[in-house]
Amino acid sequence: MTYHSLKQLAGQLATGKASSVELCQDYLARIQARNPDLNAFITVDAERTLAEARAADALRAAGNAGPLTGVPIAHKDIFCAEGWLTTCGSKMLYNFVSPYDAHVIEQFKKAGMPTLGKTNMDEFAMGSSNETSYYGPVKNPWDMARVPGGSSGGSAACVAAGLAPAATGTDTGGSIRQPAALCGITGLKPTYGVVSRYGMIAFASSLDQGGPMARSAEDCALLLNVMAGFDGRDSTSLEREQEDYARDLAKPLNGLRIGLPKEFFGEGLTGDTAKAVQEAIAQFKKLGATTVEVSLPNSGLSVAAYYVIAPAEASSNLSRFDGVRYGYRTPDYTDLTDMYEKTRAEGFGSEVKRRILIGTYVLSHGYYDAYYIQAQKLRRLIAQDFAEAYRQCDVILGPTAPTTAFKLGEKADDPVQMYLSDIYTIAVNLAGLPGMSLPCGFDGQGLPIGLQLIGDYFSEARMLNVAHQYQLATDWHQRTPGGF
């Protein structure tokens, strides 16, 4: 059952071939055996998980089960979950046990899905490799000497390694799609506002968005059905009619127009990745789609704009971590100011400090107009580029990342090179569009390659249909890492 789909697991529960308790016990045993090496989980609480599983089995016995009742899931440790340690991968929150549930956690509880644990992540979601975590780096199950991608690296690695059938993630500049690509799974970032940010510890509020990570597009559709929905506690949550994101999965792709941005196929893209993407394009043509070249002329500036806007918002959001109300407090201080300074100096890691400093600088008097306002103007131009492209196509396709998984430590001392690993994903967040990554092949070293689909606003069902039809015709998403 390790690599069964969510539909298969739900079917076994419905027919009585397995109970939720048995499923959770199997996954907990795998976590206990493999997580010490993989480091994908920060917190596991078997007693709490099995209690939730027993409650799910009781719901099913009473005839009150939903589509996924009893199927377990892991959650990125950025989502507050009542009674669970919620650290955001930081020393600053090393002892914070959340007193409430994030909206996303509430939704999964209502669906009757037990929590397997909280997954490791880059500190406060700041990173592209899952190496900035206070709890140490996550390993990529395809090659334990390589990174899983970030910041949702723990979620991606645990799904790829079969330690959980699915997981939640968050995406601020590619943090669902990039680790999904590097670990050979499927990950979806919805349109901004479709999934509530309430109880999701903030990095950059205008960019952050939660989404599902699983083995297939079909699984992601089922998960998004649970996650999505209006929440009045989040001022950016969109009040829309509830959708069934799995409704179009079976539709053929005849007449689909795929846009290929010329900017995504130039310098920096490795040969193996380019070849795999071209083979995927050929497969889509066999399925009835046509292609058209489009242009996103400002996409090359997306990294520069992002690393002004995101740190600016982070410097504001992280000002609340001061050692007064919760989390880490320095043990040795002389007065209040000294306590603030030492707590933040000791509690935050180097990447978080770097971004706070950048953000505070660009928001300071004399630099706000020169940097922050200019970045926001560029953000609007990037969104306009996408709007123009969608006049010619239905969905945009390209690589998720320019390379496959790089070695642990390889880019740790070069922040710019690390930031450029998100070159194809960041523009999607700046525009607030939905995007997803799905496996499309392997490089010469046997490492997975991700294919990115970018849709127009609220086109998640269409994107999932496109991905699902591709996955019916290929088996890249069914491949599993050796040894797991």
Burial of 296 (0-12, 13-18, 19+ CB in 10 A): buried
How many whole angstroms separate alpha carbon 367 and alpha carbon 128?
Answer: 27
Percentage of the chain exceeding pLDDT 90:
96
Write out the DSSP string of 232-265.
TTSTT--------TTTTTT---TT-EEEEEGGGG
Q: Residue 192 corresponds to which tokens in the numbers above?
A: 């901004």
Question: Is the per-residue pLDDT at 412 higher than 90?
Answer: no
Average pLDDT, integer, range 150-179: 98
| Average pLDDT across the chain, whole number | 97
Average pLDDT, integer, range 217-223: 98
How many whole angstroms separate alpha carbon 187 and alpha carbon 233?
Answer: 26
How is residue 324 annotated by DSSP? Answer: S
Q: Give, in degrees to the nearest 5, the angle at Cα 240 between 463 and 9.
A: 55
Any idea how long the chain is?
A: 484
In DSSP terms, 169 is beta-bridged to 211
How many whole angstroms separate alpha carbon 443 and alpha carbon 437?
Answer: 16
Write out the DSSP string of 1-35.
-TT--HHHHHHHHHHTSS-HHHHHHHHHHHHHHHH
The band of 87, judged by pLDDT with boundaries at 50, 70 and 90, is very high
How many whole angstroms separate alpha carbon 390 and alpha carbon 333?
Answer: 57
Q: Which residue do the tokens 């799974």 mark?
A: 185
Tell me how crowded residue 377 is: count the other CB atoms within 10 A of its CB.
Answer: 10
Q: What is the pLDDT, as a whole number, of residue 2?
A: 83
**Domain locations in the chain?**
6-231+246-251+466-478
CATH of 6-231+246-251+466-478, one of 3.90.1300.10, 2.40.128.50, 2.40.10.10, 3.40.462.20: 3.90.1300.10
Q: What is the pLDDT, as a whole number, of residue 51?
A: 98
Average pLDDT, integer, range 88-95: 98
Average pLDDT, integer, range 172-188: 98
C-alpha dihedral sign at 372, 374, 378, 381: positive
The band of 366, judged by pLDDT with boundaries at 50, 70 and 90, is confident
Question: Is the per-residue pLDDT at 435 higher than 90?
Answer: yes
How many whole angstroms separate alpha carbon 44 and alpha carbon 265?
Answer: 42
Closest alpha carbon to 448 in 474, 427, 472, 409? 474
Q: What is the pLDDT, as a whole number, of residue 365?
A: 87
pLDDT digits (tens, 9 = 90+) for 292-333: 999 999 999 999 999 999 999 999 999 999 999 999 999 999
Containing 435, the helix (H) or strand (E) segment is strand 435-442
Those residues whose C-beta lies under 8 Å from the C-beta of residue 288, and which sit 6 or more positions away, are 252, 253, 254, 255, 256
Q: Residue 444 corresponds to which tokens in the numbers above?
A: 């010469």
Question: Is the per-residue pLDDT at 189 higher than 80?
Answer: yes
How many whole angstroms separate alpha carbon 154 and alpha carbon 40?
Answer: 4
Question: Is the per-residue pLDDT at 267 higher than 90?
Answer: no
Edge-to-edge, what's the strand order for the sheet holding 257-261?
41-43, 115-119, 73-76, 166-170, 210-214, 186-189, 435-442, 448-455, 395-399, 257-261, 290-294
Low-confidence winner among 339-353, 360-374, 447-461 (lowest mean pLDDT): 360-374
Low-confidence winner among 2-11, 167-176, 414-423 (lowest mean pLDDT): 414-423
The band of 415, judged by pLDDT with boundaries at 50, 70 and 90, is confident
Is the full-model pTM beyond 0.85?
A: yes
Contact 297, 357 (CB under 8 A): no
Question: Is the per-residue pLDDT at 26 higher than 90?
Answer: yes
Q: What is the pLDDT, as a whole number, of residue 413?
A: 84
Closest alpha carbon to 403 in 449, 461, 362? 449
Angle at which helix 103-110 crosses helix 217-227, to 10 degrees, equals 110
Q: Which residues are designated catalytic? A: 76, 151, 175
Q: Which residue do the tokens 């990037």 mark?
A: 382
How many whole angstroms separate alpha carbon 37 and alpha carbon 30?
Answer: 12
Average pLDDT, integer, range 149-168: 98
